Amino acid sequence: MSEYKGSATVDPGSLAAGGGTASLVAPAGLAPRQAQAGGLLGSIGPVVRAVHGWTSTYFAAILLLMIAVGIALTGFQHGYTLMGEQIKNALVLGAIYALVAIGYTMVYGIIELINFAHGDVFTAAGFYAFAIASVLHLDGLATSSFGGLLLALIIVFPLSMIAAGLTGVVIEFVAYRRLRDSPRLAPLITAIGVSFLIEGIMLVVEGPDNVTTHQASWINGQAFTVAGVSVLYTDLFTIGMALFLMFALGAFVRRTRLGKAMRSTAQDRTAALLCGININRTISATFFIGSALAAAAAIIYSINYGVLKWNIGFHLGIIAFTAAVLGGIGNIVGAGVGGFLIGVIYVFGGSLFGGEWSESLIFAVLVLILTFRPVGLFGVEVTTRA
Amino acid sequence: MLERSRALFRVDAAASQRTQGNTVYWILASTASGLLLMGWLLPWFVNAYSAGVGFSPQDALISSPTGVGTFLIYILAVTMVILVLSTIVEPVARRMGRRFGPRVDRVRLIAALLGLALTAIIWFLVKVLAEEPLFGSLQPGTYTDSAVWLTMYGYAVAALVYGARRWVVARQTLAFGVAILPFGIFLPLMFHQAPDFLLWAAGSLAIYMLLALGLNVVVGFAGLLDLGYAAFFAIGAYACASFASPTHNIHLPLWVLIFLGAAIASMFGAVLGAPTLRLRGDYLAIVTLGFGEIIPDLATNNVFNLTGGPNGISGIDQPHYGFLDFSASPRWFYWALLLVSVAVIVLLRNIERARVGRAWVALREDEVAAASTGINTTTTKLLAFAIGASVSGLAGAFYGSIVSIVSPDDFSFSVSIAVLSIIVLGGIGNIAGVILGSFILTFVIFWVLPNMNEWSTTLSQTVHVPALAGIDFSSYTYIIYGAALILMMLLRPGGLLPSRARAIELESGGETESLAAVQGVA
């Protein structure tokens, strides 16, 4: 157990970089353990190791090349209008993944826990928003006029974000706080338990079928057409809102005292404690912000697709987690970029191999990242000190 | 670290015998009493329930034409009261500082033997001499028949426990096996009522138990959190479906199938385990989760035309193997499952204590330290994956031939989590705990929850709360898994029956020595 602590000590280089890119955690703890992994790789021979090392170094380039080839192939096969449509779809989907991925990356950065419940907080937040909209009769308001729409959005976004944020805080308080210092297996199993509990509650409350949320009717109309691709106001809103929230979060983490407290807690909890930072409050705040962003993503999802189901959060959560890993876990900017990249891979993988393979493709990408470059695209390779 | 390792391997033989041996003693003594009570009350319950009239053994004994029967029943009642009451009183007396000595044991042994003999005589009178039935018909298939068998078994267990108490305490595992195994073997003979139900119940239990035992190797012994365990189950089931169905026109016997399923699954286990070797803890969990999602996806998308797409493969053979005609009698399935489960339990118990098992513990505790003591971490981890997967493949092959249709939906993430809940509930890393956990969870999921609908409807009519009737309890499984995982981890991380080594590890916390105390203040 003690090696985790040892390997998580901060590398000066990444610390310096961390300030600039709003990185929450030094990726040193995730570096491949070459000194030890000699068993399999060593027995097969240095060739494998060389190939592995090469792939690991140029992973980002290879991945981007593959994505570019995939996009181009789609263009050749199905025409460039469809390619444009797909790029638009990918960006919309990517925006949602990015917002969810940020929650994963922040929580992992600060307490090194895969919060499996995050995807289900996303679904729950979607249902909160639906409930708020139904109770306050916002559907009629939102479709009546532009001002009404703005008002509805201004009501529904903060309310559901706060509700989801509180859900996240409660989850952390009840399920994770007591296990913060126990071996890693314990909070991980608890996280799965929380995920199943939330899914079970939603299954009982909302039923096993798709729930139509009507929010797809909120924003209507086509904004403009680029090269035959019609861009809807919904698309603009989705991407704009996601980018706005991400930049706001970036500024928050970089500029405010709480953001600073988060970064320092992520880097070294003991040292942060010694500096007088209230660890518990900081971690609660992290959960609050992550869950609130998931709520925003859930409303955006509702506005785009108009349906929710009790278990959509599970797969969406794993895909978003893949995005977080792709960008380097703990790295907020990385999670944002990773989200968009995963969106592109999902959509174009679907159009090349057929939609039924999209999720398998994402999981395969996840396995490849963790095999070849566990520190993510933006992570700095650090020699291990295990 | 040193202190922890010492605590791990310190074996206080006397203490462990005192506590553990007594545990088995208590379990067996209460089992005997429970069986006796069940045997006595079962006919009464069943008759009262089905006929609506109070038909009790007392009624039967009054109406018994011969005085012999009445006399026997009274003696029988006395022996039962002695045995049951003394079992209840013993712990109370013990708490007050009085121990039951060998004299009490002798009385109880005589009571048990007497009861056994009398039950046998009654059975003989009724069945062979066709005496008027004492408490209901003894035709095979009736509850009274089952009740007589239960009573006889209860007396036999009581005789074993009280007659050979020192042996039970000294050789607890063996004693437990000797006392419980015959019950498992004779169960289909004692209960003829619903052979299909028995097979279904025993099948669900055995399959989940095998899965949990296999996952316990990976998670409990080696400490590698595998969230995609259903994948290997799926592989075993699909292997069975491919090699024993009209799909490819191959029809292999069950005994070949289960080994084939195990072999293929363990191969996959090693192959899928290989890329995860360098990953630790939570990353391993997420990658295995990914594999667990990919495998059913592959099956759904009918890769290489092997899996039959979303509908799966149907028409899997009912095993017919020489004189063992499985289709004619589900009993053979039951015994096959029992045999395989017992074999797997014995095997895993030995593996746990062998060199590999100890290497797993070392790996789980501290990978770097384990590597530096000369343990080949690669081989050891791969072996854990392969052995865990092979047990799962075995279960998959059985599953395929019992349900005779496999489809991708049967192997979703919730199966992996159900199995994980069993382990966490019972006790991570402890085989006895895992078995207990699988009994509890399969009982709740497959029997209590489906029946809850009916019960709540009845209750709602009785207490006039109509809201109770509409609840569909079968959708509560997710909540039960979730609550089991959270509560066990928060309140009793070692599980109901914690493994000693694991309990030390989970409770000591490991990573932080003084930080926890500091943070408690903050």
Cross-chain residue pair A40–B512, CB shorter than 8 Å:
no
- Give domain status of residue B384, yes or no: yes
Summary mean pLDDT of chain A: 81
Give mean pLDDT, residues A333-348: 91
Q: Which of B5, B294, B420 should one mutate to test binding to chain A, selecting the residue with the greatest count of A CBs within 10 A? A: B294
Nearest CA-CA partner of B505 in A186, A6, A112, A270: A186
pLDDT at B3: 55
A23-27, A319-323, B369-373, B455-459: the lowest-pLDDT one? A23-27
Give mean pLDDT, residues A148-167: 89
Beta-strand pair B405-406/B313-314:
antiparallel
CA A153, CA B104: separation in Å to the nearest integer?
A: 79
* CA B141-B147-B152 angle, 5° bins: 120
Cross-chain residue pair B287–A36, CB shorter than 8 Å:
no
B170 and B125 in a single domain? The answer is yes
Annotate B461-486 with DSSP letters as a single string.
Answer: HHHT-GGGGG--GGGGHHHHHHHHHH
Residue of B nearest to A32 (CA): B278
- Give domain status of residue B155, yes or no: yes
B110 and B224 in a single domain? The answer is no
pLDDT at B345: 93
CB atoms within 10 A of CB B513: 11
Tell me if B51 sits within 8 A of B59, measured CB to CB.
no
B136 and B203 in a single domain? The answer is no
B60 and B80 in a single domain? The answer is yes
Per-residue pLDDT of chain B (522 residues; tens, 9 = 90+): 455 555 444 444 444 444 444 778 888 888 888 888 887 776 655 554 443 333 344 444 444 444 555 566 677 778 888 888 888 888 888 778 777 778 888 888 999 998 888 888 777 766 665 555 544 555 555 666 677 778 888 899 999 888 888 888 887 778 888 888 888 888 877 776 666 777 778 888 999 999 999 999 999 888 888 888 999 999 999 888 888 877 777 777 777 888 888 999 999 988 888 877 777 777 888 888 888 888 888 888 877 777 777 777 877 777 766 556 666 667 777 888 888 999 999 999 999 989 999 999 888 888 888 888 888 888 899 999 999 999 999 999 888 888 888 888 888 888 898 899 899 888 888 888 899 999 998 888 888 877 777 777 777 777 777 766 667 777 788 888 888 889 888 888 777 877 766 555 555 544 433 333 333 332
pLDDT at B501: 61
B172 and B218 in a single domain? The answer is no
The torsion angles phi and psi of B76, rounded to 5 degrees, stand at -60, -45
Cross-chain residue pair B225–A185, CB shorter than 8 Å:
yes
- Which helix H or strand E contains B156, and what residues bound it? helix B143-163
A9-18, A90-99, B16-25, B435-444: the lowest-pLDDT one? A9-18
Cross-chain residue pair B367–A374, CB shorter than 8 Å:
no
- b or e along B377-416 (b: 16 or more beta carbons within 10 Å of the residue's beta carbon)? bbebbbbbbbbbbbbbbbbbbbbbbbbbbbbbebbbbbbb
pLDDT at A9: 41
Is the pLDDT assigned to residue A8 strictly greater than 60?
A: no
Residue A360 touches partner B, C-beta closer than 8 Å:
yes
CA A159, CA B500: separation in Å to the nearest integer?
A: 48
Annotate B266-326 with DSSP letters as a single string.
Answer: HHHHHHHHGGGTT--HHHHHHHHHHHHHHHHHHHHTTGGG-S-GGG-EE-PPPPEETTEET
Mapping DSSP to helix (H, G, I), strand (E, B) and coil, where does residue B170 land?
A: helix
B182 and B44 in a single domain? The answer is yes
Is the pLDDT assigned to residue A334 strictly greater than 80?
A: yes
Residues of chain A with Cβ-Cβ distance to B219 below 8 Å are 185
Mapping DSSP to helix (H, G, I), strand (E, B) and coil, where does residue B133 land?
A: coil
Residue A269 touches partner B, C-beta closer than 8 Å:
yes
Domain holding B113, by residue range, is: 15-192
Q: Which runs of consecutive H residues, i.e. helices, occur in B10-95?
A: 13-16, 22-51, 57-63, 67-95
Residue of A nearest to B417 (CA): A192
Locate A44 and state its tokens.
Answer: 């097969």
Residue A37 touches partner B, C-beta closer than 8 Å:
yes
In angstroms, the Cα distances linking B277 to A34, A46, A112, A258, B283 are 12, 18, 20, 38, 10
B331 and B474 in a single domain? The answer is yes
CA B345, CA B432: separation in Å to the nearest integer?
A: 9
pLDDT at B194: 65
Residues of chain A with Cβ-Cβ distance to B489 below 8 Å are 179, 186-187, 189-190, 193
- What is the second-level CATH architecture of the domain A2-372? Orthogonal Bundle (1.10)
pLDDT at B296: 86
CA B389, CA B344: separation in Å to the nearest integer?
A: 13
Cross-chain residue pair A370–B279, CB shorter than 8 Å:
yes
Residues of chain B with Cβ-Cβ distance to A112 below 8 Å are 282
> Which residue reads 């000190």 in tokens?
A385
B223 and B184 in a single domain? The answer is no
Size of interface A-B (CB pairs under 8 A): 186
Cross-chain residue pair B301–A186, CB shorter than 8 Å:
no
Residues 6+ apart with CB under 8 A from B358: none
> Which residue reads 């570019």 in tokens?
A68
B165 and B201 in a single domain? The answer is no
> Which residue reads 């987690």 in tokens?
A321
- Give domain status of residue B86, yes or no: yes
Instruction: Mark which residues 182-241 of A lie under 8 Å from B by CB.
Output: 182-190, 192-201, 203-204, 208
Cross-chain residue pair B290–A367, CB shorter than 8 Å:
yes
Residues of chain A with Cβ-Cβ distance to B285 below 8 Å are 114, 188
pLDDT at B101: 77
For chain A, the domains span 2-372
Q: Which of A360, A372, A373, A375 should one mutate to test binding to chain B, selecting the residue with the greatest count of B CBs within 10 A? A: A360
Facing residue for A40 by CB, picked from B378, B483, B516: B378
CB atoms within 10 A of CB A56: 16
Q: How far is CA A76 from the centre of its chain?
A: 31
B143 and B234 in a single domain? The answer is no
Facing residue for B378 by CB, picked from A3, A39, A364: A39
The whole-angstrom distance between B232's CA and the closest CA on chain A is 17
Cross-chain residue pair B489–A179, CB shorter than 8 Å:
yes
Facing residue for B293 by CB, picked from A175, A208, A363: A363
Nearest CA-CA partner of A363 in B155, B272, B36: B272
Residue A179 touches partner B, C-beta closer than 8 Å:
yes
> Which residue reads 């013993």 in tokens?
B90
Complex-level ipTM:
0.78
B281: left (phi over 0), alpha (psi -120 to 50) or beta: left
Instruction: Mark which residues 296-325 of A lie under 8 Å from B by CB.
Output: 314-315, 318, 321, 325
pLDDT at A346: 92
> Is the pLDDT higher at B23 or at A155?
A155
Q: For residue range A38-67, what is the model confidence (pLDDT) as tens digits?
A: 455 556 667 777 887 888 888 888 888 988
Cross-chain residue pair A184–B518, CB shorter than 8 Å:
no
pLDDT at B325: 61
The whole-angstrom distance between B221's CA and the closest CA on chain A is 13
Secondary structure (H, E, C), chain A: CHHHHHHCCCCHHHHHHHHHHCECCCHHHHCCCCCCCHHHHHHHCHHHHHHHHHHHHCHHHHHHHHHHHHHHHHHHHHCHHHHHHHHHHHHHHHHHHHHHHHHHHHHHHHHCCCCCCHHHHHHHHHHHHHHHHHHCCHHHHHHHCHHHHHHHHHHHHHHHHHHHHHHHHHHHHHHHHHHCCCCCHHHHHHHHHHHHHHHHHHHHHHCCCCEECCHHHCCCCEEEEECCEEEEHHHHHHHHHHHHHHHHHHHHHHHCHHHHHHHHHHHCHHHHHHCCCCHHHHHHHHHHHHHHHHHHHHHHHHHHHCEECCCHHHHHHHHHHHHHHHCCCCEHHHHHHHHHHHHHHHHHHHHHHCHHHHHHHHHHHHHHHHHHCCCCCCCCCCCCCC
In angstroms, the Cα distances linking A71 to A40, A87, A343, B199 are 36, 8, 12, 54
CB atoms within 10 A of CB B83: 27
Residues of chain A with Cβ-Cβ distance to B522 below 8 Å are 273, 278-280
Facing residue for B489 by CB, picked from A189, A196, A314: A189
Cross-chain residue pair B297–A198, CB shorter than 8 Å:
no
Percent of chain A with pLDDT over 70: 86
Tell me if B296 sits within 8 A of B234, measured CB to CB.
yes
Residues of chain A with Cβ-Cβ distance to B281 below 8 Å are 4, 184-185, 188
Q: Which of A36, A185, A369 should one mutate to test binding to chain B, selecting the residue with the greatest count of B CBs within 10 A? A: A185
Locate A378 and state its tokens.
Answer: 């933006």
Nearest CA-CA partner of B256 in B233, B268, B239, B271: B239
- Which helix H or strand E contains B251, and what residues bound it? strand B250-251
- Domain count of the fold of chain B: 2
CA A197, CA A324: separation in Å to the nearest integer?
A: 24
Cross-chain residue pair A273–B294, CB shorter than 8 Å:
no
Tell me if B450 sits within 8 A of B474, measured CB to CB.
yes
Residues 6+ apart with CB under 8 A from B175: B24, B28, B160, B164, B167, B168
Cross-chain residue pair A178–B490, CB shorter than 8 Å:
yes
Can you give the length of chain A in residues?
386
CA A55, CA B504: separation in Å to the nearest integer?
A: 41
The whole-angstrom distance between B274's CA and the closest CA on chain A is 8
Return the half-sphere exposure (C-beta side, CA atoms, 13 A cut-off) of residue B491. Answer: 8
Longest dimension (CA), chain B: 81
Q: Specify the DSSP class assigned to residue B216.
A: I
The torsion angles phi and psi of A224, rounded to 5 degrees, stand at -160, 175
Cross-chain residue pair B482–A199, CB shorter than 8 Å:
yes
- Give domain status of residue B515, yes or no: no
From B135, B162, B192, give the residue that closes a domain.
B192
Annotate B372-408 with DSSP letters as a single string.
Answer: HTT--HHHHHHHHHHHHHHHHHHHHHHHHHHHSEE-G
- Give domain status of residue B514, yes or no: no
Nearest CA-CA partner of A163 in A210, A134, A191, A128: A128
A303-307, A380-384, B404-408: the lowest-pLDDT one? A380-384
The torsion angles phi and psi of A212, rounded to 5 degrees, stand at -85, 125
Residue of A nearest to B300 (CA): A356
In angstroms, the Cα distances linking A194 to A120, A184, A324 are 9, 16, 20
Facing residue for B509 by CB, picked from A113, A181, A269: A181
Residues of chain B with Cβ-Cβ distance to A280 below 8 Å are 519, 522
CB atoms within 10 A of CB B154: 28
B135 and B277 in a single domain? The answer is no
The whole-angstrom distance between A39's CA and the closest CA on chain B is 6
The whole-angstrom distance between B1's CA and the closest CA on chain A is 9
Please give the radius of gyration of chain A, using alpha carbons only, rounded to the nearest integer.
21
CA B185, CA B278: separation in Å to the nearest integer?
A: 45
Locate B286 and state its tokens.
Answer: 């997420």
Annotate B219-250 with DSSP letters as a single string.
Answer: IIIS----S-THHHHHHHHHHHHHHEETTTTE
pLDDT at B215: 94
Residue A361 touches partner B, C-beta closer than 8 Å:
no
Beta-strand pair B405-406/A307-308:
unpaired
Cross-chain residue pair A360–B294, CB shorter than 8 Å:
yes
Q: Specify the DSSP class assigned to residue B132.
A: P
B512: left (phi over 0), alpha (psi -120 to 50) or beta: beta
Facing residue for B510 by CB, picked from A113, A183, A195: A183
CA B94, CA B76: separation in Å to the nearest integer?
A: 27
Sequence letter at residue B108:
R
